[in-house]
Structure 1
Amino acid sequence: MKRLHQVQGWLSRVEAEETEVDKLIKDSAQEIEKLCLGGYCSWNIKSSYKYGKKIAQKLQVVSKLKEEGCFPTVAEIWSREDPMDEPITGERILPQIVVDERPCEPTVGLETTFDAVWRYLGEKQVGVIGLYGMGGVGKTTLLTQINNKFVDVSNDFDIVMWVVVSKDLQLEKIQENIGRKIGLSDESWRSKSLEEKAMDIFKILRRKRFVLLLDDIWERVDLVKVGVPPLSSPPLSSSFTSKVVFTTRFVEVCGHMEAHRKLKVECLADEEAWKLFRSKVGGDALDNHPEIPELAQTAAKECGGLPLALITIGRAMACKKTPAEWRYAIEVLRRSAHEFPGLGKEVYPLLKFSYDSLPSCTLRACLLYCSLFPEDYNIPKKHLIDCWIGEGFLGDDDVGGTQYQGQHHVGVLLHACLLEEEDDDFVKMHDVIRDMTLWLACEFDKEKENFLVRAGTGMTEPGVGRWEGVRRISLMENQINSLSGSPTCPHLLTLFLNRNDLSSITDGFFAYMSSLRVLNLSNNDSLRELPAEISKLVSLHQSSKLNKGVAERVQVFGEHQMFELGEYILSPYNSSASGI
């Protein structure tokens, strides 16, 4: 006997809802503690309102499931041992094993996404499911869990096929992987053309209920050319007996593959990240000194919830049993993470694949530019695009056009999971992605862009002796009080000095920065005057938000200069403050 397809789908949805209901019940004790005045009021009205809304919505879902759970028939007689005709020789053969279990380490924090995928596999309206997320976040692990679930759970499918696609897309290799699974693997079949093999695969799969798991897709895979029966989008087909699930780093690929459902695989929350990190470090190191657990939690947070980084760093720290070793490791992670064992060889190269796959050198330059901002910094989109314009990354068309082009570039980086959107107006770089881009910009020989980034490190001196030869410098969010001397920086393009304690800049400081295009001195409230030579920086395109007191003293501008001054803007076309 075998459950009917609609029954299995209903049960999968019930299991998924049970998981979410259990979480709500677990959170109930904490929410009850917030109540006061006999339960008629709350110390945290917003939290209690949100919790109550979730309960009400969940009750509606459960009620609907109960209504849909009445089936006149729940199972049918069926045998997987029924023979079929071998399409090449005409011989009668038995079906292949339904699924091959794959090795997989225990995981943490993927339960919610797994449950959602499993629920979609049971829904007849869903045929293609896309899983996307940044490199190292656990997409392959999640797909492996889905594959192995078919080993243990009764299901409606005849066969489950696993194919690793990777960056070098070759349809013939996909065909060979599928062919081995369905009995098409002899030498004569492998010598056939792409079209002939596609026909053979199609003849077998069209009579089967299959699941095709495609790992690591970088571009659209034409499954029809492979021989996979098409899974048309509704309303062309209202029911799918077969499924395709794939993983990718790019949300656009989900659209190109016509995914009916797409799910982002997120980094781990703090509690889940600590659980994974702790399991890799092990009790031998953590229990060796009372200070180590707290230091270990600090080290875990440097990973930003990225499972690959948590695993790599956790394993590297498993033999560190003194607080001094842990403090040094944290310092290395913060100052020069690429020097930490494993990151430069295992983590960054994997993430660099996403960087290398950006469609243009301009987009790669735009991404590297984002590393000039401090860790966990909410970057205003408009300010970022203005800086890109100032650097010359965007086209020379009208201002509106370059702004639209900049918005497009931001979107590409977001969809590649290389930036994260905080809300409509801000983006942020994941800590490990930022470390990787700094590794590329500062250390990686082939991509070396001569960046000097000490943003948010608490430095009090600018260290101008290290500026020569550098193209982009970010010393924002420090405690630098003054700038003196005349550093020789003929190649310097961008200089971020905003959010310091600057009160004075000596004459001649900008005298040898002839190429400077982007200068940010904003949020230095004590700064009232600029050196006279700043008016001679003819390449300067953008200087962000100086104090208004300085604006009143600036009268001469370079050919293309534009100074944003708090709520005012000065440009070569308008030498007096005007509202924006």
Structure 2
Amino acid sequence: MDILPLNRTPNTRTCEQRQSYPRSSLLPILLLSVRRSPNRATHKPPQHTTMATGEGRIEKVLSSLQDPNVGRIVLFSMNGGVGKTWTARHAMRRAMDTDLFDIFVWVTLSVDLNWRHAQRRIAENLFIPIPTNRADGDGGEIVSTIRNEIWRTLSEKRFLLVLDDAWLVEDEVLDLMGVPCPGPENLSKVMVTTRSTRTFVVMEPAEVFEPLALPAKESWSLFCDVAGEPFTSPAVHSVAQTVSGQCSGAPLLIILIAGALRNIKDASLLWDRLRQASSALRADAEQLTFQTMNRVVKFSYDALPSDLMKDCFLYCTLFSGARDINSEELIRYWVLEGFIDGYDYRQEAYKQGRVVLEELVNRGALYRETGDRVSMHDVVREVALEIARASGRTSYERAGTLLTAPPNECAWRNLMRISLMDNLLRKLPECPQCSNLSTLLLKGNQALTKIPNAFFDHMEKLRVLDLSYTGIRWLPASISKLLDLRVLLLRGCQSLQSVMELHALEKLEVLDLSCTSFIAGYSSLERMSQLRVLDLSETPVTSLHFLGNLANLRHLSLRRCHCIKSGLHLEVATVLEELDLSGTTLVEFPYEISKLTRLICADLSGTRYTRLNWEALQWLPENLNLDNCNVSDTPMELVRKDGVYVAVGNSDLLLSLEKNSQLWENCFRKFHFCVCPSERASLENDIRFQRKQFIFRDIYFESRHFAHPVEHTKYLEICGVDSYPKGIEGVLNNAELVSLNSNAFMKKLSDLGFENVNVMKECWIERCDQAEVVFRGDDVQVIAAIGRLENLWISNLANLRHLCEGMERLMSFSSLKHLHVDCCPNLVSVFSSALRLENLVTLQIKFCDKLESVFGESVAGQEMLPQLRTLRLWELPELKSICEGHLPSLKMMKVKECPQLKKLPLDAKDIRPLVEIRGERWWWNNLMWEDARIEDSLHFRNWGPF
């Protein structure tokens, strides 16, 4: 779940923080019982406190973290799903915004994980290397070494250690792991969430927090937030409230039940789902039990809308419950397994995978962690494992628990999927009987250096094999018997010496050899005619002579392959759709890509060429990334006729793109040029998002600023540039949509050159802190030149004082229809009285703390804004007037937190029907009316979200 910001008064927030939060981001509201442990005489007697909100609960835990006399904190409940982990997570994040601690460590455990596992996870968080080349992986020597390193790292620091879902039983367990005793001496803390009463003996906490049930009102609010409020009928509403009440005030139950009802439109299905939910909660309204949780999780699973989503959900059990999951990695496995297929373009499958993931998160089946990672609640995972086992699609049930020996023969015999990822395996069974096995995941077993020769003899149905990041040196001979294998992942197998054994895998579709270092065996790829995805990134491959035999290759990655200098011969890969050559040491631009007419995406960022001859290019892919390339170029005449995306680290590449070149007609009828220095791009989320996920570009456009669809297809973006980008004139002259973000060179719009903006229809100006004005009176040519401008967005200009300044004679923005101004704290006026806006339809002004009047001088609204239909004014504490006269075309006016605005620009003689005014009730009651007929003719609605 997202984190809501601390509640503050509006005028104390920065403009960056002023944003609305969707209802789906609301946090569970919890009660809390707090008791002091009587175990230590130095602490106060036990106290019990309850709080009515999750925010209050976090604050209470944070207060304990600030108390020097509290060293150990336990969040306890014998039931799962009541919010222990949620509270600990958000309390830790709040603490990270303070200077309380130097080191933060979060370790997720589970019922079958011991203190040795916790010790290793602490070491990993502290970047302490763990030996893997000794005979006894759990031996005393290694344990002692890790303990000493942890002690050394933490002993002189203030640390916060969180042990989530701990079931540790050993006395003095912190000392065993090497964690210094927290307390007043070092101002460090250990916080534990647990369902085990043994923790009180092991940890001797100074303070214990116990969550209580949510009250009915908060339960219902959370229920509606997750379900999307589909309860329109009074009868359905009543039954839904009853079901909500049966959830015993447990947030996890509420979320899962409501998630199963999410956005159901069919009334019959909704009634049926409510009956099923009530049955799942039967007889447990007064007491939360594991049986209840079990039934509810199964009900939530059964309610998933498709078999695809069920398969994707159960697949999450293949990952260790002690670790969160990288979203991109999870989606990649879904695609590789064939759950998400039917997409010609690989990125489209990943896009659909993202949709599935978001739906699982919205339904509570998964929850979101930081850094685009997700987790499965421990209670949900326990039940999901039962479901998966019953379906025969499960992993070995102890996957991810630091196994040093393989599972027994019985575990291999009947399962379809086995996951032993991220363990300490040193050996595998000689010849397991796995006639039903389709997926085997051994990734991350770095101590595994050898696979028995006959290991794959009886795995004839194996389709997916992941050996990534293992220590294997050779592939066993039996791998050639995997004739049905479709996916083979060997990423990061740095000890691997050859892949000659792969010659028989003619049905292989995906092969990942990235980050391997062998130099022999690439010739074995020649027989893989069905191969669709080949990743050779960061390998010493020197030649691609085998490409001609890969007739079905769609995706080829050669990222950071430094041994390839030239002679790629990519033209033979006629069906190639994605190509990654970023960071390679090619000495010549790969002109053959212009012959690959099915190529959609080509990443050439970070490459170096002495020359780029545009005339040699006949065609360009839709997404071409040339960021941070060092080239000089000559004019281009013939390229692709559809859309092209070009990202560059500097504008030198654009020097040859003259404004009158045939290029614009023959190739760039649709384009997106982005100029952004590489060091700046790493800080710009929007830019990074576009480059990595170009398929979401349309969504990115639509979610930017204007509610109406963006129709302009010629887009230039300049971001983070300190000086005027030379060579930009040709692109600027042909760009209909221009975005200027965080540029130091720009003090006013005319700095772009009035002769360069003749076709611009939409302009976004953001975070250009040098700008004090957008249009000056001496910029007559600019105003004449931008006569086509329809939409203007001004945002986060810290020093902007006027939109228009110094205009003495009447001028007109004849085409401007939409204007949005926000977060300009020094703006004192928007318009000059000499500026006519006869076609402006929408005006929105937000968060401008010094703005006193929309017009700098007294003007008549009917003359200056005759077509204005929608006016939005939000958090303008000094605004006293809009204009004189009236706005004859006004249909909608929304006002929020404008306490000085006492008069509306309306005329009793010109009141039209259906004029709607939205605002706070107190503001409406304080308005002054020149004519009572005005108030009687308006339709006022209490303010809601814009």
Calculate the TM-score normalised by the size of structure 2. Answer: 0.29
Identify the structure with the greater helix proportion: 1
Larger Rg: 2
Higher relative contact order (CA 8 A, sep 6+): 1
